[in-house]
Structure 1
Amino acid sequence: MGKQGLSTKTIVAIGIGTAVFVILGRFVTLPSGVPNTNIDTAYAFLALMGVLFGPLAGFLIGLLGHALKDAVFFGSIWWSWVICSGLVGLFFGLAGLRLKVRVGEFTTRGIILFNVVQIIGQLLAWFVIAPLLDILIYAEPANKVFLQGAVAGTANIVTVGVLGTLLIAAYAKTRNRSGSLQKE
């Protein structure tokens, strides 16, 4: 019989990842100078979780984490950006399917692959989908939302490119590489 559903480990990772995303998204941000748009370290953590636990976990952590943050700290959920946080987590998880981080490998090739995928995912989410959904759902002015998307997307690409890559590399270094043990 095939394996059904999510593993307990993945469900726990989604719960913990969501909580950490909320905390980082609220308390470890920098103002960008554009209204309602911050430089957010939560996406570097989301990158690590997506790479380690896969696309579904990345999607759910981004979606649930952003929705809870909005609901708890701002009183309402801005669905266009919540959906995009989920999509970005999904892209991180898709990149992770091609990486061997869990067995201690995060080579230069892996770093390049991860960053190409994360850049594509974030460009699509923040430069295209979030502004279009803002216009469709909330009737926001196009010039405002495309500016917010560009600033947030650029900040997230840089944050994940630097902090996310460092987190993933640090995690990979804690794992034993297969065949790394030698007989004395």
Structure 2
Amino acid sequence: MKKSIFSTKTIVAIGIGTALFVILGRFASIPTGIPNTSIETNYALLALISTIFGPIAGLFIGLIGHALKDAISYGSVWWSWVIVSAFIGLGIGLFRKMFSIQDGEFGRKKIIAFNIAQSSVQAIGWFIIAPILDILIYAEPANKVFTQGIIAGISNIITVGILGTFLLAAYAKTRTKKGSLSYED
């Protein structure tokens, strides 16, 4: 029997994660002064859920959550950035074994691994993919979209670096450390 990538746990994580992504994106974003570019706290949540539930959950939370947030906030969906959000959820989820928090430990080495992974994934997404898709899909001017991508990328890398690291550390503390249980006579 083949195991499905859509377990009940993954589907529930996608539903709850999507709702939280939309809420945070709608009510917990800080404008940067660059048009349509904000400091987004929802990417810290996306990093946490992608790390806990994996790349499929991260991909769909980024995809559906960002599309819904755009539709609610702006009345239309900006697909180039939606694709990047899905890419970020997928990418961070793919690296999750490097900084596995399920074993109850999230020390210096895992924090560094997490931040290298999230920074790399977001840099590719915001500095390269988003501007190129903006040019290809919407015929936007290159200088505008690369500026927006750089500002969005830097602010999201910093936000996930601080808030995401805090969320992962807090979650790891709720997990039982590997080998911490012992047999009593």
Report the TM-score range of the alignment, normalised by the length of the smaller protein.
over 0.9
Mark the runs of 5 or more structure 2 residues left unpaired by the alignment: none
TM-score of the two chains, using structure 2 as the length reference: 0.96
- Contact 2:103–2:177 at 8 Å: present in 1 too? yes
1:17 match: 17
Distance in 2 separating the partners of 1:5 and 1:167:
25
Residue in 1 that maps onto 2:34: 34
Distance 1:42 1:4 in 2: 27
The CA distance in 2 between the partners of 1:6 and 1:76, in whole Å, is 28
CA contact (8 A) 1:88 1:122 kept: yes
Cα distance in 2 for partners of 1:92, 1:114 equals 8
| Secondary structure of 1:101 counterpart | coil
Q: Letter of the aligned partner of 1:112 in structure 2?
A: I
Q: Residue in 1 aligned with 2:8?
A: 8
Deviations 1:67-88 (A, max 9, x none): 0101122110000000000001
- Superposition deviation, residue 98 in structure 1: 2.5
Length-normalised TM-score, structure 1 = 0.96
Shift of 1:5: 3.5
Cα RMSD (Å) of the superposition?
1.2
Counterparts in 2 of 1:167-182, with a 5 A limit? 167-182=167-182
Question: Is the counterpart of residue 72 in structure 1 residue 83 in structure 2?
Answer: no
**Alpha-carbon separation, structure 2, partners of 1:107 and 1:92:** 18
d(CA) in 2 for partners of 1:178 and 1:103? 5
User: Which residue does 1:159 correspond to in 2?
Assistant: 159
Match of 1:130, SS? helix
How many residues are matched? 184
* C-alpha distance in 2 between matches for 1:3 and 1:121: 28
Aligned to 1:115: 115
Runs in 1 of length 4+ with deviation above 4 angstroms? Answer: none
Over the matched positions of the two proteins, sequence identity in percent amounts to 61
Distance 1:5 1:169 in 2: 26
Decide whether the 8 Å contact of 2:37 with 2:152 is kept in 1.
Answer: yes
Give the structure 2 partner of residue 128 of structure 1. 128
The equivalent residue for 1:88 is 88
Deviation at 1:107, TM superposition (A): 2.1
How far has the Cα of 1:108 moved from its partner? Answer: 1.3
> How much has 1:62 moved relative to structure 2?
0.6
